[in-house]
Amino acid sequence: MQAAVVPEPGAEFEVVERDVPEPDADEVRVSVDACGICHSDVFTKEGTNPAVTYPRVPGHEVAGHIDAVGDAVDAWEVGDRVGVGWHGGHCSTCDQCRQGNFLQCENGEVTGLTYDGGYAEYMTAPSEALARIPESLDAAAAAPLLCAGVTTFNALRNSDANVGDLVAVQGIGGLGHLGIQYAHAAGFETAAISRTPEKESLARELGADHFIDATETDAGQRLQELGGADVVLGTAPSSDAISSVVSGIGVDGSVVVVGVPGEPVAVNAMDLVQTRGAVEGWGSGHARDSQDTLEFSSLRDITPEIETFPLEDVNEAYGRMIENEARFRAVLEL
């Protein structure tokens, strides 16, 4: 098989020929149809996570179908369409797993980081890491939903917002353009916040009821004029942008950060005290969360905007992602 390998931290991808892997007893082998390129792949590419060993095949937005099953696997069959996301497996025995917090497993695996991921024609994964892909979803469109999709969908559905509440999405990029769609489809009054006024028409096409141009308007003040946001989903990884919307939350409102900036986020404590508000964080989700995301996306016809590339162009594709040039998700098709 062909695989895109990072041979050492900071190196360029090398497309090499490898033996097709064999699944262990509790694993399946996935024939990869598409794999999204996520900003979190930088952990593997640059070696910034101590759990990475090399050489390593990145990729945790994997859409494909089962090619082989291990002897102990009985919940999945050859031919099943499956996805594998950031959550790459859990131990089921640690304290977090026993409480159902599988993404916080103390011994958890991360696809494309602690074991080889989807920048390859085949990969193996533990059976508990699999999400079923609806037949209506194209593989290339489904792939980014295994990370960008589940992150935004899961953050919103686990927030305290109710149908009809004001939900703002800060940033209209790889995460934000999905967050707007999910917020609209879930019945929230949806506001889009961006520093790119040219994105207003896109935001409204995606379902935004309001567009706030943060270059011309104080976003927090505008949200207060709309009644105060119950949730602001922070998708753009900018500390200043996240700080600027804290003043826009209403009573018991929260800013939920999903796009992680490189610098600390400054918060005016009075904004939180006056509203009983909070600034929170949210990770992606486990395999069942990913499947819920895929099923809801299929039900409401929610898809990402993508650019596709063949495996041999992985360096170009990764470069467009890292330079924020892709609109909005780069996907390898295999």
Express each pLDDT in 59-107 by its tens digit: 999 999 999 999 999 999 999 999 999 999 999 999 999 999 999 999 9
Cα–Cα distance for residue pair 37/308, rounded to 1 Å: 10
Question: How far is 268 from 183, CA to CA, in rounded Å?
Answer: 27
Structure confidence at residue 131 (pLDDT): 98
Q: Kindly report the length of the chain.
A: 334
Tell me the pLDDT tens digit for each residue of 137-148: 999 999 999 999
Sequence-ordered strand ranges (E) for 143-223: 166-170, 189-194, 210-213
Model confidence over 172-215: pLDDT tens digits? 999 999 999 999 999 999 999 999 999 999 999 999 999 999 99
Tell me if residue 168 falls in helix, strand or coil.
Answer: strand
When pLDDT is cut at 50, 70 and 90, the band that residue 282 belongs to is very high
pLDDT value of position 329: 98
The residue behind tokens 């980081």 is 113
Query: pLDDT tens-digit profile of 153-176?
Result: 999 999 999 999 999 999 999 999
Q: What pLDDT does 327 receive?
A: 94
The contacts of residue 142 (CB under 8 Å, 6+ apart) are: 34, 63, 83, 133, 294, 297
37 contacts 329 by C-beta, under 8 angstroms: yes
Region 31-36: mean pLDDT is: 98
What letter would DSSP give residue 314?
Answer: H
**Average pLDDT score over residue span 225-241:** 97
Average predicted confidence (pLDDT) for the chain: 98
Distance CA 154, CA 150 (A): 5
Residue 297 pLDDT level (bands cut at 50, 70, 90): very high
Query: Which positions ≥6 away from 76 have C-beta within 8 Å?
Result: 28, 66, 69, 82, 127, 130
Q: What is the pLDDT of residues 234-259, one digit of tens each?
A: 999 999 999 999 999 999 999 999 99
